[in-house]
Copies of this chain bind each other. A is one copy, B any other.
Amino acid sequence: MSKVEETTLARSFPARYAGRTVLAVGAHPDDVELGIGGTLARLSRAGARVVIAVASVPSHYGTRRKEAEASAKILGCELRVLLDGGGCQRIEDVKHYQLVGMLDDVVRELGPAAVLTHSASEMHSDHISVHNACVSTQRLRYFDFFAFNPTMCRPMPVPFYPRAYVDISETIEVKMHAIAAHESQFANRGIDLAIFRDTAHLMGRLVGVQYAEGLDVGRLLLN
């Protein structure tokens, strides 16, 4: 590998997290795949330990848990379910401070270099709760904090303006594969996945790459 290639690689976004831990937090199975599946695959491939924390499995526990595990495997990530008593649970089954407490525990254990989660502008109140809980965990220690595109099975307009874009040209197929792993949510309901690829393609062209995922920047220390 030439010096230039090495440098380029070294200063890439994934390189920032190589050898460190990245925590992706979603309200339900499939959320992080929809929002940042391509980003997580890139980080994992570049040598980061990537942990997906799913707050809760609200329905069809067996099926959706298995799908989440398959999907995490495709992305090269570890999976955790926060509210996990071996059956379905809803985020509203616990108080908000308990949700914060669960996330605090994960942050204390993992010491993540970055946390990525839902944004404050969402169509599902569970997504907003998870966002708010992640905001609170910032008090424990410094980590980069990003929020991803509103996520949903069936498209509807929700305001979101990304400030950062992750080039996922190399991992778009992995992302699509991971989304597809959630068969109960998509294939079994006859939902076409093409819009997720098309969205990534459109975002990519806004910044001159083939496919991209958009992120809002909550807190980023350029050191």
Contact = CB atoms under 8 A, between A and B. Distances in A.
Interface string A110-135: 00000000000001111000001101
A18 B8 CA distance: 10
Contacts of A208: 141-142, 221
Interface string A188-223: 000000010011011001111100100101111111
Of A17, A126, A215, A220, most B-chain CB atoms within 10 Å: A220
A60 interface: no
A166 interface: yes
Contacts of A13: 222-223
A215 B221 CA distance: 10
Copies in the complex: 6
A95 B92 contact: yes
A12 interface: yes
Contacts of A184: none
Nearest to A170: B223
A97 to B, nearest CB: 6
Interface stretch (A64-72, A74-82, A155-163): A155-163
A219 B156 contact: yes
A217 B219 contact: no
B202 A219 contact: no
A177 interface: no
A19 B8 CA distance: 10
A128 to B, nearest CB: 8
A222 B165 contact: yes
Interface in A6-23: 7, 10-13, 15-19
Name the 8 nearest CB pairs between A and B, nearest first.
A13-B222, A10-B10, A167-B223, A164-B220, A163-B217, A142-B208, A92-B95, A166-B222
